[in-house]
Amino acid sequence: MFIRSKISQQQAENLFSTRKSSFPLVSNLFLRKSQNSPERLEVMYLPFYLFDVMVEKEIKGKNGGISPRQNVTLSVDGLLGHAVLYAEDTLDVEKDLKTPAPSCDFEISSSDAAKMALDQYKGILLEHGLRTRSHPRAEEISEGRKIYYPFWVGYFKKKKGYDFKALDAASGEIQGIRMRRVFIKALKSLK
């Protein structure tokens, strides 16, 4: 299954070239240097696993310990298993692509990805529980569903070569350092 891209090539180019700094004290001179258009843009579909995790939240109150259950959908990249994302329930799915796009194969198994997803999500729940003084627990995880998720990759000219940046083609978010290793692995595996 492929997730349909909602960001056009023109929109991706605009998003790459109008990126704003998260530091308010950065000078306009520095921003102008970082606001160049990519030399080349391509859409890349990366492999991801989708997992449904049943989370039990313990609520303490007058009625004792009530434990409502909630289903959370997580996605983990199929290359390194590092990126745990909260996936939306309504992903725009396309069975077959009409135009070929570069993509790479899954390199980790569904069971390994499930373990990584559960471990990383338990860490998130622990941190959340410490802040809120609650004790949510991830109870069970479903079998992984394979999807290919679209990203726009922009290649930028630097003084001594090229660099790249990636943009989520479904939401329009520029990807950060956490996903950079996944893209490097994907780009190396392309033929």
Q: Contact at 8 Å (CB) between 11 and 172?
A: yes
Residue 25: the pLDDT is 47
pLDDT tens per residue, range 67-91? 577 788 888 999 999 866 666 666 7
pLDDT tens per residue, range 128-149? 777 777 777 777 788 889 999 9
In the 8-state DSSP scheme, what is residue 28? H
The DSSP result for 95-147, as a single string, is SS-SS---B----S-HHHHHHHHHHHHHHHHHHHHHHHT---EEEEEPPPEEE
pLDDT tens per residue, range 150-190? 999 999 988 888 899 999 998 889 998 889 999 999 988 87
What is the average pLDDT value for the chain, to the nearest integer? 80
Residue 169: the pLDDT is 92
pTM of the model: 0.79
